[in-house]
Amino acid sequence: MSGVMAFLYSVLYVAAIGIASHFIGEALPRRWFHYDKFPYRVWKWERGGKIYDALRIRAWKDRVPDMSRIMKDMVPKRVGKTPRAADVWRLVQETCVAEIVHVALCLCAPVIWLFWGNWIGILLGGIFVICNLPFIMIQRYNRLPLASLAERLEKREERRRKAAEQEQTAE
């Protein structure tokens, strides 16, 4: 296969799996995703998220493309001004979905080598993996504070519910 054709096939392949991954990610049942279970739970090497602080993810995470800004069928990746626990838990699940989609894309990278059969395929596959790694790191970075916020909001909502019940019974 000529280099031009191999390059064209590589580009088409990456575009096709990128588009397919969006639809597959959106179709996955959210009940499958638990932030505190394998593979989404915090690992010891992450040191409670400190590894991501060392990588300064906060400084650059908003500069990478966010598909939820483009694709209107996706859950926006922002916490509103008056967030509810359920909404934040949904964002936590979305970080799990996005992480697994980007991991799956990384696992698809070796197919690029098949178009080339040489070091160029390995290089392009490696670049494809490297381009997906920041998105995986961002999901893992965002998950911890989002889960913490969701837990605090749940407690606050429970306190307010109990206060409202007590107020009703006092009347």
pLDDT-wise least confident of 29-33, 37-41, 67-71 = 67-71
pLDDT at 134 (0 to 100): 95
Give burial (CB, 10 Å; 0-12/13-18/19+) of 14.
buried
pLDDT-wise least confident of 87-91, 102-106, 113-117, 121-125 = 113-117
Tell me the average pLDDT across 36-57: 91
Residue 95 clears pLDDT 70, i.e. is over it = yes
pLDDT band at 107 (very low <50, low <70, confident <90, very high): very high
Residue 72 clears pLDDT 70, i.e. is over it = no
pLDDT at 1 (0 to 100): 67
pLDDT band at 26 (very low <50, low <70, confident <90, very high): very high
pLDDT at 123 (0 to 100): 92
**Alpha helical stretches, state H, 71-118:** 85-108, 110-116
pLDDT band at 76 (very low <50, low <70, confident <90, very high): low
As a whole number, the mean pLDDT across the chain is: 89
Tell me the average pLDDT across 105-116: 90
Residue 143 has which token pair?
Answer: 């998950």
Distance of CA 156 to the CA centre of its chain: 27
Kindly report the pTM of this predicted structure: 0.85
